[in-house]
Structure 1
Amino acid sequence: MAEIQNVVLLSVDALRADHLSFHGYERDTSPFLADLASDAVSFDRAISPSSHTREAVPALLTGRYPDTFANNGYRLVRSSVGDRLSAAGYATAAFHSNPYVSRAYDFDSGFDVFDDNLMLGQNRLVALFERFLNKFVLNKGEYHTRAEEINEQSLGWIDGLDDGPFFLWNHYMDTHGPYNPPVGFDRFSERSVSNSDAQRLYQKSIKEPENVTKEENRLLIDLYDGEIRYLDAQLRHMIDGLDERGLLEDTLVILTADHGDGFDEHGYYTHPRRLHEELLRVPLLVLHPDRDPKRVEKLVSTLSVVPTILAAAGGQDDTLPRDDLFAEIEDESDGSRTVFASATGEDGDVRRFAVRDRRYKVVIERRLDDGEIVSETGFDLHADPGEQEQIREFDGRLTELHDQLYTFGNTRLGTVDAEMEAEKLDSEIEDRLEVLGYK
């Protein structure tokens, strides 16, 4: 049995599973990931615990439910896998360019090197301004670090290490809007667009989704698919880089996404704080030296990523809500397996909860102040995979799931504290940046 020395976590922002070739998408968006899936343990039904970065990424890094962070101004308020592996003697590094999971929100905790593409300081408002500055002044329209540079930085860091185990986290922003794939990867769209045109179209899809034409909708999807194709090529370079360094023989590699993106399936674009499948179902591939390739149809949560890493590193945490992925594979009691997700409403007054099994799904929206139910709906995902036919009267399995979700919500409502109120003040700055095209 090979000993796991290193851990590499590759997460992608806004990458929905059903736009990937190996998940049945009609376009060849991800030839490398299709190859990788044949060599990995591939989870067909992986569900994110939330639909947007500020709750999904901290959950991914800690293995804890998203409300833990939403209730505390979206700071990383619990020990992350970086903290744990650093304490165990691992060299640790992270490379990304998303200010919402930056050092301004304490995400640098536990990392020896933490490159979040921030240039001026630690303050969270400064972090937002830096992102604007980077987009419009320094990089001529690019608002994030491209995957090619992330790979170069992270592989360079690996090359500079002494002997000993390491943990690397790369978070790629390429599939996050505004969508405008590099030249050569815009093969799915009939025309190229400028960065400013891509930004205008993206902003229109957010602010005026009802006014997006069929042609514009098609263009948004075409550009998004091109971004996936670009990212796929860069992920090939990253995995090849690990292989060329002889690291795949003793390294656990996990590839997943924080959430997906919507394209008017339910009247919105991008990833607002809703809980539809296009936002929650994400890819999940695991390369483990001791595990044979396998396609897994069991329903799993990306909350299991941290337990899987801890198990590979020789540790565990019984306080985490999910088991490691390989223990879940071996669990024979799949008939009643469920996963939960949640998202705090944009105004911070409500929280949406979802629970699903292989067939059914229930969504409840509750007020944070008194727990009052605002709405509750069910879906039969076998008969209605697009979640277009709401079920209002529950019976049988839907009743069981509803009761589970109601109980789950009672334990997860929490209260929004002063830090959240400070975030609301921050949103004024965000609104001003939005006028300039920041969002």
Structure 2
Amino acid sequence: MTDLRLRLALPAALLAAALTAACAGPAAPERPNLVFVVLDNVRSDRLSLCGYERPTSPFLVQLCGREGSRCTCDAQAPSSWTLPAHASYFTGAEVPQHGAGKGGDDEGNVRLGPGTHARPLDDALPTLAETLGERGYQTVLVSGNPLVSPASGLTRGFTTVRHASFFGEFSGPGLPQALEDALESVEPPSESAAPLFLFVNIANAHRPWPGVPERVDWLPPRLMLSFPQKAGRPNPQRRSFITGTMDPDEAAELVAHLGDVYDFSVRSADRTLRLVLRTLREGGWIGGERPFRVVVTSDHGEHLGERGLMGHADPYLYEELTRVPLAVYGSAPIPELPRQIAALASYDLLLDGRPRRRPVRALAFASDTWPRWYRPGLGSRPGAAIWNGSEKFVSHDGEILRYDLAEDPGELAPERWTEEETVAELEALLAALEASASGEPPSPEMLELLRSLGYL
């Protein structure tokens, strides 16, 4: 690890030290069971919890209506795809501090699946599971997303691991069954038993999306939609849409089809969340004698045709890709959540039931595939976004843009922004992001800027 990466890792190490202190004090019965659920690929604006007109999240509505629960629809994910977002959630570090998720065939990157190579989570950064395990927690991971695996480094510290080998394997009853199997490997709940830290990734809303059956009364019947890729080449249908060569009527129908199967899959994820929490309650892990705390969020959203984009894992940090839900409830009162919050606060909520004051921002590496698959330059620059109330500042294809989300929630009227302090902060974030993955140190001037802004 370069000197810069060691410097960037310092905040994560400090957070881990805080975690150690937090877990060291109370007697064993006072340590709560901790449950962390990521609703993979779920964006806030497609949840009925957040005002969407379709009934996509009835259980989340019920969960957030419980006395003592705290929920917001305005959390911002730390990045645009699974690996960097989960790495942040598991370490408490922002993307430039851990560097995980830089795509391509660079030295140090690993194969995570067909056509997917990326930098794994650095072994030097302690994870939440490792620290809790050292403090006597039983640590269990169940993931419907195959990228949450030993290869990515995300399972480090979990003593029991069940992860899908392909997307869709743990859809339907698959994930609740995998959870039941995993819990059989740990000591059952009792006053003298070790506490549990459980992580669950529910990937029902991730591509491939199953079709909508005729019995569903709030959606039209739809066929499965998956955009399959062969031999590392782009899917022709998706490529035609993103490049703008698709017939307009066909494109409109594809967007409608995509929206329907996505909404149906979000409803499926909501149903699976209900089954997961029911399993835990019936097993005595939550709602029993031991205190407990449950945190639910998402790792990122999904472009569903807006602005000619489809998918995720790109550097275009629009609200449909970054704005996610955040919910927390437990046996003890939870403080009110700020209306706008970094979803990375999940880390803090798990530790002590209250969020730290964190800057609200997201970062995404440049895409290694989009410029080759769709058109030169598309997604070829990294992205960064900073939120300040209704103001959002974004580095977009090398330009600094400002959005007023109160007046322009669809982000259709950007203003080019030149104010020096904001431009400097975004440039510092991008420099730290690139340095964390490349190993190439930034200039002395940029190092000084990073230091002045508190990133070193």
Paired letter, 1:170: V
Gaps of 5+ in 1: 119-130, 132-141, 313-323, 329-336, 367-373, 419-439
TM (norm. structure 2) is 0.73
CA distance in structure 2 between the aligned counterparts of 1:412 and 1:360, rounded to whole angstroms: 22
Equivalent residues, number: 364
Paired letter, 2:206: H
Paired letter, 2:120: R
Structure-2 residue corresponding to 1:6: 33
Structure-1 residue corresponding to 2:409: 385
Deviations 1:144-189 (A, max 9, x none): 3215322222234335532211111111111011211574785444
CA distance in structure 1 between the aligned counterparts of 2:139 and 2:32, rounded to whole angstroms: 13
1:47 aligned onto 2:76: yes
CA distance in structure 2 between the aligned counterparts of 1:341 and 1:247, rounded to whole angstroms: 33
Deviations 1:320-348 (A, max 9, x none): xxxx51x54xxxxxxxx841111001139
Q: CA deviation at 1:15?
A: 0.3
Equivalent residues in 2 for 1:23-62 (5 A)?
Answer: 23-39=50-66, 40-62=69-91
CA contact (8 A) 1:44 1:297 kept: no
CA contact (8 A) 1:47 1:300 kept: yes
Paired letter, 1:361: K
Paired letter, 2:182: W
1:152 aligned onto 2:177: yes
Structure-2 residue corresponding to 1:237: 275
CA contact (8 A) 1:376 1:392 kept: yes
3-state SS, counterpart of residue 7 of structure 1: strand
Structure-1 residue corresponding to 2:120: 75
CA contact (8 A) 1:60 1:303 kept: yes
CA distance in structure 2 between the aligned counterparts of 1:377 and 1:258, rounded to whole angstroms: 24
1:208 aligned onto 2:240: yes
Q: CA deviation at 1:383?
A: 0.8
Q: CA deviation at 1:205?
A: 5.6
CA contact (8 A) 1:188 1:223 kept: no
CA distance in structure 2 between the aligned counterparts of 1:204 and 1:190, rounded to whole angstroms: 25
Deviations 1:106-126 (A, max 9, x none): 2221111112234xxxxxxxx
CA contact (8 A) 1:42 1:285 kept: yes
CA distance in structure 2 between the aligned counterparts of 1:85 and 1:385, rounded to whole angstroms: 40
Equivalent residues in 2 for 1:223-234 (5 A)?
Answer: 223-234=261-272
3-state SS, counterpart of residue 350 of structure 1: coil
**RMSD value over aligned CA atoms?**
2.9
CA distance in structure 2 between the aligned counterparts of 1:390 and 1:83, rounded to whole angstroms: 43
3-state SS, counterpart of residue 413 of structure 1: helix
Equivalent residues in 2 for 1:163-202 (5 A)?
Answer: 163-181=193-211, 183=213, 186-193=216-223, 195=224, 198-199=226-227
Structure-2 residue corresponding to 1:414: 435
Change (3 A) 1:155 1:182: farther
Structure-2 residue corresponding to 1:135: none
3-state SS, counterpart of residue 168 of structure 1: strand
399, 405, 427: which one aligns with 2:426: 405
CA contact (8 A) 2:95 2:433 kept: no
Q: CA deviation at 1:411?
A: 3.8
Structure-1 residue corresponding to 2:364: 343
CA contact (8 A) 2:392 2:403 kept: yes
3-state SS, counterpart of residue 416 of structure 2: coil
CA contact (8 A) 1:206 1:268 kept: no
Change (3 A) 1:205 1:359: farther
Structure-2 residue corresponding to 1:98: 145
Paired letter, 1:8: V
3-state SS, counterpart of residue 161 of structure 1: coil
Paired letter, 2:38: S
Q: CA deviation at 1:292?
A: 5.3
CA distance in structure 2 between the aligned counterparts of 1:205 and 1:81, rounded to whole angstroms: 40
Q: CA deviation at 1:302?
A: 1.7
CA distance in structure 2 between the aligned counterparts of 1:154 and 1:35, rounded to whole angstroms: 22
Change (3 A) 1:29 1:117: closer
Q: CA deviation at 1:307?
A: 2.4
CA distance in structure 2 between the aligned counterparts of 1:286 and 1:149, rounded to whole angstroms: 25
Gaps of 5+ in 2: 1-25, 103-107, 110-118, 188-192, 370-379, 440-456
Change (3 A) 1:292 1:300: closer
3-state SS, counterpart of residue 306 of structure 2: coil
Q: CA deviation at 1:198?
A: 4.4
Change (3 A) 1:284 1:185: farther
CA contact (8 A) 2:403 2:413 kept: yes
